């Protein structure tokens, strides 16, 4: 039967190896959309396109000044990174205590556990204070508002019927049910703007009609 020092050393080496493997996997995953820095600034708001035509559609991209939020929210302290950190510190401390200081097994386990908890806490603090805030995008409330969103019909709307509306929000492409605001039919591919949303259905108007000057505008 191996002595306690060998067991501590085995725990340390396995945990350290797994830590390097997960770190390498995390670096490889930095190109995944949603955590890449380029994605945080690439989405300027769906209605920004309308702003180039007229100020009537005014709220595009208003919330994108805050590109980064607190990515630590909702992150559990008991995750793979902190657990591996605990076992790495636990194994390393236990090995040193038993192999070089001949500490009793029960005492060595208790002290190693305390040191492991401290190491896990340090890693978790670094994770939520440094790493996640720099990688997790913050989606402002404006990113979820439908009114003023511009897109195209992937399925045409027949008179009084329902079609499909393709648009982008929060850097992702989405699809929603759509109806004509004035009840008129719209062909597939028509560029439309959402006027309002009710019960998950977007009521849309042709973009060119939406941008037409309103009676009394400018008076």
pLDDT digits (tens, 9 = 90+) for 75-132: 788 889 999 999 999 999 999 999 999 999 999 999 999 999 999 999 999 988 887 7
Q: What is the mean pLDDT of residues 7-13?
A: 96
- Both 151 and 67 in one domain: the answer is no
Residues 17 and 73 in one domain: yes
**Is residue 219 in some structural domain?**
no
Structure tokens at 184: 């008129």
Reported as a single tens digit per residue, the pLDDT across 47-82 is: 434 443 433 444 434 344 444 444 455 678 888 999
Q: How confident is the model at residue 35 (pLDDT cuts 50, 70, 90)?
A: very low
pLDDT in tens, 163-207: 998 998 877 888 999 999 999 899 999 999 999 999 889 999 999
How far from each other are the two terminal CA atoms of the chain, in whole angstroms? 92
pLDDT of residue 1: 59
Domain co-membership, 39 together with 133 = yes
Which pLDDT belongs to residue 57?
44
What is the per-residue burial (b if ≥16 Cβ within 10 Å, else e) of 73-99?
A: eeeeeeeebbbbbbbbbbbbbbbbbbb
178 and 134 in a common domain:
no
What is the pLDDT, as a whole number, of residue 58?
40
Q: Does residue 218 belong to any structural domain of this protein?
A: no
Give the model's pLDDT for residue 41. Answer: 36
Interatomic CA distance for residues 219 and 215, integer angstroms: 9
In a domain, 13, yes or no: yes
Helix axes 4-28, 105-126, angle to 10 degrees: 10
Q: What is the DSSP letter of 67?
A: -
- Please check the confidence at residue 11 and state whether its pLDDT lies above 70: yes
Shared-domain flag, residues 29 and 110: yes
> d(Cα 137, Cα 115) in Å, to the nearest integer?
33
Please classify residue 112 by burial: count the beta carbons closer than 10 Å to its beta carbon, then call 0-12 exposed, 13-18 middle and 19+ buried: buried
Is 150 a member of any domain?
A: yes
- Considering the domain architecture, whether residues 8 and 41 belong to the same structural domain is answered as yes
State how far the Cα of 219 lies from the Cα of 213, in Å rounded to an integer: 12
CA 156 to chain centre: 32
In a domain, 217, yes or no: no
- pLDDT at 135 (0 to 100): 60
* pLDDT, position 134: 61
pLDDT per residue as tens digits for the range 134-164: 665 555 665 568 888 999 999 999 998 999 9
- The structural domain count of the chain equals 2
Domain that holds residue 187: 146-210
Asked if residue 187 and residue 106 are part of one domain, the reply reads: no
Residue 114 lies in a domain: yes
- Do 30 and 124 fall into the same domain? yes
Q: Does 13 score more than 90 pLDDT?
A: yes
Instruction: Say if 215 falls within a structural domain.
Output: no
Looking at the structure, tell me whether residues 94 and 186 fall in a common domain: no
Asked if the structure places residue 191 within a domain, the reply is yes
CB-based contact 89:123 (threshold 8 Å):
no
């Amino acid at each position: 039967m191996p002595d306690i020092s060998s067991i501590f050393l085995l725990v340390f080496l396995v945990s350290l190896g797994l830590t390097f493997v997960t770190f390498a996997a995390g670096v490889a995953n930095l190109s995944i959309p949603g955590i890449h820095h380029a994605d945080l600034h690439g989405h300027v708001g769906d209605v920004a396109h309308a702003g180039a035509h007229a100020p009537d559609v005014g709220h595009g991209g208003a919330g994108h000044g805050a590109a980064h939020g607190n990515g630590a929210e909702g992150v559990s302290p008991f995750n793979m990174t902190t657990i591996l950190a605990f076992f790495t510190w636990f194994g390393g401390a236990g090995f040193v205590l038993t192999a070089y200081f001949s500490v009793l097994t029960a005492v060595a386990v208790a002290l190693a556990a305390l040191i492991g908890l401290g190491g896990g806490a340090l890693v978790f603090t670094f994770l939520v204070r440094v790493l996640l805030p720099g990688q997790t995008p913050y989606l402002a409330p404006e990113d979820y508002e439908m009114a003023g969103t511009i897109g195209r019909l992937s399925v045409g709307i027949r008179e009084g019927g329902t079609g499909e509306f393709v648009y982008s929000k929060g850097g992702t492409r989405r699809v929603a049910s759509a109806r004509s605001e004035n009840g008129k039919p719209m062909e597939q591919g028509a560029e439309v703007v959402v006027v309002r949303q009710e019960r998950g259905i977007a009521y849309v108007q042709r973009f060119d009609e939406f941008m037409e000057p309103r009676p009394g505008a400018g008076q």
